[in-house]
Structure 1
């Protein structure tokens, strides 16, 4: 493709005429004195420049000996990567595959956070973060975030999550400005507007001394390690208050200052509340007799 360059061509483009009534070409009809359509230079310049601009716009130089430059330009434009709309865009713009992947709930990135304190921004919502033990992470302000916006954390040790805008983090029934967690696997926080950040994790807190696991069904399993008093009574303040109901408890013997050690442990509730105070007192016993000074791990089931 090349611009016309013969001896009758002019150096400058003639000015365009005023826009007339749109129509179509005709070969004319002598019988009815209908003249054939005149093809003016203005029209030919329009066609030439449209093709030239498409070719040069694709990065090519005009080549008089090449006859596929328009086709090459079309291929180049078709292969160019699209522009991914910004996060949370809900307009009718064309979506790239990157935007679709993010919108379908796939994590947009997995980023390692440096040890220390890190403040997240709204642009980082939708990502997963590897958090170093002992670090502190501040959630982004909730203003402008869509409901259901999620942040996922992966860590093998204790770390702290805070908020910066007064919103609460709900791990269990009570909202807090910040939570200190020990995560075995991951914790996922969902933005719920007026209700702050809600935990939807499969494991929220874990340690040898105590922890809890929340299952997809809503069932919560908690465990606490405690030492019985001289009467065999075990007081348990467990990691979280059951939001809905306390169902049952059972105990496992770990160690005790008694000989021989008991072969089985029965755990019977004496007092407390599974859903109110988050504390219960049990009697650890064997064959109906209390186990003084026994080291017991109590497992509690609720929802």
Structure 2
């Protein structure tokens, strides 16, 4: 579309080259500005382009179609993720920028994520076997996503980086400082990641799964795991009872403590002579006594 450009235009009415319209003044010999088809067609198509983009069908008797179109989806384009220009922001762009997840998707196979997956929650179903989720290469500081293990199987979900990228700031892996992979082992395990530039993801939080029962566990964001339970002593005092932790410790068992119910302080005791990541042999000084235990590891 362009300004009116007929021979009778008002030359430079709005500045150099910005012609306009003028009224007639027959007494002074001033002729009115003439229309032409080019101008009318330009105005028509500019307006109808907005109306039709808003999903409206042009109707001669409807006088608010442009207003309806401007209030509808389809007229404005949502800027690209992380766009920091002066383009108009749609509500979709604003919601994404406020930190709301742009989408939630479920995967049940090994999956390579792309930059288009930033801003999403990825629910991973590993019930059919161990799964590997490959993160996108870090290209934009501030890009974030969340990986969540959604099934209750014993199969692990391994989150790995691309290229030379690393994950820092989370203790949910051996070493506790940085790694190219993080393992989610139980339902409810999750990993919140934010790209920091320089080829790194920062683990904002991880862990969180729990089993609250007589024998259960709690996974902390630091990667530390606290477990507890009770075992009944062997019918022969001092003989072992095999106890399996509710959750296998991934890398280390730091502490295992006991407390017994019943008996006297002189005769009531519980201990273990074998400690593994999977459990221990519990022994007690009183036959068939209830013996409580607590374990801490990661």
TM-score (norm: length of structure 2) = 0.61
Q: Give 1:146's aligned residue.
A: 141
Q: Give 1:105's aligned residue.
A: 99
Q: Give 1:124's aligned residue.
A: 117
Residues 253, 296 of structure 2: 8 Å contact kept: no
With over 3 angstroms needed to count, the CA separation of the structure-2 counterparts of 1:155 and 1:78, relative to structure 1, is: closer
1:175 is aligned, of 175, 178, 182, to 178
2:112 counterpart of 1:114: no
Q: Give 1:48's aligned residue.
A: 40
2:231 counterpart of 1:254: yes
The whole-number CA distance in structure 2 between the counterparts of 1:285 and 1:137 is 42
The whole-number CA distance in structure 1 between the counterparts of 2:44 and 2:63 is 8
Deviation at 1:27, TM superposition (A): 6.5
Residues 51, 70 of structure 1: 8 Å contact kept: no
The whole-number CA distance in structure 2 between the counterparts of 1:223 and 1:135 is 26
With over 3 angstroms needed to count, the CA separation of the structure-2 counterparts of 1:184 and 1:297, relative to structure 1, is: farther
Aligned residues: 235
2:87 counterpart of 1:93: yes
Residues 161, 179 of structure 1: 8 Å contact kept: yes
Deviation at 1:150, TM superposition (A): 2.4
Q: Give 1:21's aligned residue.
A: 12
Residues 28, 36 of structure 1: 8 Å contact kept: yes
Residues 124, 147 of structure 2: 8 Å contact kept: no
Residues 184, 204 of structure 1: 8 Å contact kept: yes
Helix, strand or coil at the partner of 1:196: strand
Deviation at 1:40, TM superposition (A): 3.1
With over 3 angstroms needed to count, the CA separation of the structure-2 counterparts of 1:187 and 1:44, relative to structure 1, is: same
Matches within 5 A, 1:208-287: 212-214=218-220, 222-224=225-227, 252-257=229-234, 259=236, 279-280=253-254, 282=256, 284=258, 286=260, 287=265
1:84 is aligned, of 68, 78, 93, to 78
Per-residue CA deviations over 1:52-79 (Å, capped at 9, x if unaligned) read: 324553459999xx4x466434533543
Q: Calculate the aligned-residue CA RMSD, in Å.
A: 4.2
With over 3 angstroms needed to count, the CA separation of the structure-2 counterparts of 1:202 and 1:176, relative to structure 1, is: closer
With over 3 angstroms needed to count, the CA separation of the structure-2 counterparts of 1:301 and 1:161, relative to structure 1, is: closer
Q: Give 1:200's aligned residue.
A: 205
Larger CA Rg, structure 1 vs 2: 1
Residues 108, 126 of structure 1: 8 Å contact kept: yes
Q: Give 2:31's aligned residue.
A: 38
With over 3 angstroms needed to count, the CA separation of the structure-2 counterparts of 1:151 and 1:290, relative to structure 1, is: closer
Residues 54, 70 of structure 1: 8 Å contact kept: no
Per-residue CA deviations over 1:71-123 (Å, capped at 9, x if unaligned) read: 434533543422111112122211112112212222211211132x2100011
2:280 counterpart of 1:291: no
Residues 184, 203 of structure 1: 8 Å contact kept: no
Residues 160, 181 of structure 2: 8 Å contact kept: yes
The whole-number CA distance in structure 1 between the counterparts of 2:67 and 2:112 is 45
The whole-number CA distance in structure 2 between the counterparts of 1:137 and 1:213 is 21
Deviation at 1:140, TM superposition (A): 0.9
With over 3 angstroms needed to count, the CA separation of the structure-2 counterparts of 1:54 and 1:174, relative to structure 1, is: closer
Structure 2 unmatched runs, 5+: 15-20, 239-250, 273-280, 284-291
